[in-house]
């Protein structure tokens, strides 16, 4: 399922750009390209960073329910998903550190700074949904929204989740870790299959973040006529389309500005939303 959604994300991105076949052409090009190796690079660390990014996305996808179907039923699915996002920090850092390049290293540092700033509001948004459902199980959280989606009565948490998901996947206006001003940042020296695997991990992580939004805030597989798993898929594609859309429509912000916004706006807003939900629940 993760592989299908990752391809769908890449295809959707190409379709929005008017080039639906572009992702597949790029994949073939990277597969046949020779790897570029920098002087005194640590190949082991680089490979660990590159490979662990899609692995983290795949492991996170295991606890995501589609209707009443889930690969691994877990009572702490929210914690597991968040933990796999933290693994992505190490992945990007190792990929930037291991190649022994200044641009890649700065890109890795940027992601650590960005992750620290946005992990707290992201975590508060996750906890808010779990608090309302009295559970860390994504299936229970989805079932608790019978009749009213959490996105309706906790819109701030939903908005914070989407913004922080973009930051955690370094996508759209939050792509400074792989920005053009750093010649690609953490991906600057990645080429050939390494670059393809890293990009697949990035797209996979974005897809899983969109999929988790469904049981957290959009009622899971609840909906008329269609089976639950199909409703989950439709909602996931809708959230994913919104996240992908931001890349071409929302400009990249100066890093200092959105870091300040995370600490001074998103965190207080997420805490206030959690307080309101806590009062309602109690």
Q: From residue 257, give the alpha-carbon distance in Å to each of 91, 173, 220.
A: 25, 11, 34
Give the model's confidence band at 33: pLDDT under 50 very low, under 70 low, under 90 confident, else very high: low
As a whole number, mean pLDDT of residues 126-130 equals: 92
Question: What is the pLDDT at residue 29?
Answer: 62
In this predicted structure, the answer to whether residue 178 has a pLDDT above a threshold of 50 is yes
In this predicted structure, the answer to whether residue 9 has a pLDDT above a threshold of 80 is no
- DSSP structure string for 182-205: GTTGGGTT--HHHHHHHHHHHHHH
**Range picked from 131-145, 164-178, 250-264 for highest mean pLDDT:** 131-145
Q: How far apart are CA 5 and CA 153, in angstroms?
A: 28
Question: What is the pLDDT at residue 257?
Answer: 79
Report residue 112 as tokens. Answer: 């650590």
In this predicted structure, the answer to whether residue 127 has a pLDDT above a threshold of 70 is yes
As a whole number, mean pLDDT of residues 108-132 equals: 87
Q: Which helix (H) or strand (E) holds 142?
A: helix 138-143
pTM: 0.84
As a whole number, mean pLDDT of residues 134-151 equals: 89
Question: What is the pLDDT at residue 70?
Answer: 82
The rounded percent of the chain whose pLDDT value lies above 70 is 86
Q: How far apart are CA 83 and CA 136, in angstroms?
A: 13
Count Cα neighbours of 266 within 13 Å in the Cβ-side half-sphere: 27
Locate the domains of the chain by residue range: 2-281
Question: What is the pLDDT at residue 19?
Answer: 58
- What tens digit of pLDDT does each residue of 242-252 get? 998 888 787 77
Mean pLDDT for the chain overall: 82
């Amino acid at each position: 399922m993760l592989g299908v959604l990752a391809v769908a994300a890449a295809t959707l991105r190409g379709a929005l750009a008017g080039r639906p076949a572009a992702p597949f052409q790029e994949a073939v090009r990277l597969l046949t390209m020779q790897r570029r190796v920098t002087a005194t690079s640590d190949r082991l660390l680089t490979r660990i960073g590159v490979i662990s990014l899609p692995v983290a996305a795949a492991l996170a996808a295991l606890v995501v329910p589609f209707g009443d179907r889930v690969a691994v039923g877990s009572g702490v699915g929210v914690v597991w998903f968040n933990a796999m996002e933290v693994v992505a920090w190490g992945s990007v850092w190792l990929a930037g550190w291991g190649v022994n390049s200044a641009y890649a290293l700065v890109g890795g540092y940027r992601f650590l700074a960005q992750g620290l700033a946005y992990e707290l509001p992201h975590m508060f948004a996750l906890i808010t949904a779990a608090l309302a459902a009295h559970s860390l199980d994504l299936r229970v959280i989805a079932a608790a929204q019978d009749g009213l989606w959490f996105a309706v009565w906790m819109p701030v948490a939903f908005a914070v989740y989407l913004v922080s998901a973009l930051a955690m996947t370094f996508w759209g206006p939050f792509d400074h870790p792989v920005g053009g001003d750093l010649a690609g940042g953490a991906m600057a020296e990645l080429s050939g299959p390494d670059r393809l695997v890293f990009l697949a991990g990035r797209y996979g992580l974005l897809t899983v973040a969109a999929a988790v939004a469904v049981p957290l805030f959009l009622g899971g597989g609840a909906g008329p006529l269609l089976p639950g798993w199909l409703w989950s898929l439709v909602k996931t594609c809708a959230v994913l389309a919104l996240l992908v859309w931001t890349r071409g429509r929302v400009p990249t912000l100066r890093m200092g500005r959105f870091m300040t916004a995370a600490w001074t706006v998103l965190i207080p807003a997420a805490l206030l939303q959690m307080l309101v939900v806590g009062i309602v629940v109690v």
